[in-house]
Homo-oligomer: A and B are copies of this chain.
């Protein structure tokens, strides 16, 4: 079983992004989708989409600590404040309360996935890692594997420093739920900028060589760290239309 944990928040591209994730993962019959909204309550639009997916799913909600009134999402993003932390942790809580062991993957709603990803990570026993398309400004973040030992030696990410900063991308690792339970691992809201993955992984492994290279020794890319953008940001004049409420974005 793969637990696919997706934090999500309301914005113009939210449903379109979730529709894409859903279409990438819904045909895998051994994937459990855990969608956690950054909100006080789950919304009907997300629930409808989940029901339509035909998947095993959990639909949860928890607010991020900073209220949008104090610090706008744009501001938090500019600060590179950790995003989706409480949402992913609630996802982990849910996996543990379900009690069925499986492999946990953190699949952000705006990334893109190949439908073969789940099958490729399903049998991982500890922390599995793999390459991701388009991490930061690179074409991909490749994991380096020593051909002699088959052990991971690092990544092409320039911030990578063994034990000091694993600099893995959220989309480029998975972890067995049994290991997470054993180590009581959780994401930390006070992770330094860009270190949220590192702060989580260091609770699970002692060294980068403890990670298992997946996807054909990290040579296949089944996940891409991208962003969906609209031509230009919507102007207030255009975006408000009394008929908008009658338009349902396909859900």
A interface vs B, CB < 8 Å? 12-13, 16, 19-20, 23-24, 27, 112, 114-116, 131, 133-134, 136-140, 142, 156, 158, 219-222, 224-235, 238-239, 241, 243-244, 246-250
A64 to B140, CA, bound (A): 29
Closest to A140 in B: B247
A42 to B54, CA, bound (A): 36
* Residues in B neighbouring A24, C-beta threshold 8 A: 20, 23
Contact B228 A112 (CB under 8 A): yes
* Residues in B neighbouring A115, C-beta threshold 8 A: 23
| Cβ contact of A250, chosen from B116, B136, B235, cutoff 8 A | B116
A248 to B137, CA, bound (A): 19
Distance between A101 CB and nearest chain B CB, rounded to angstroms: 27
Contact A219 B238 (CB under 8 A): no
Contact B219 A247 (CB under 8 A): yes
Contact A244 B112 (CB under 8 A): no
A182 to B149, CA, bound (A): 65
| Cβ contact of A13, chosen from B142, B219, B226, B238, cutoff 8 A | B226
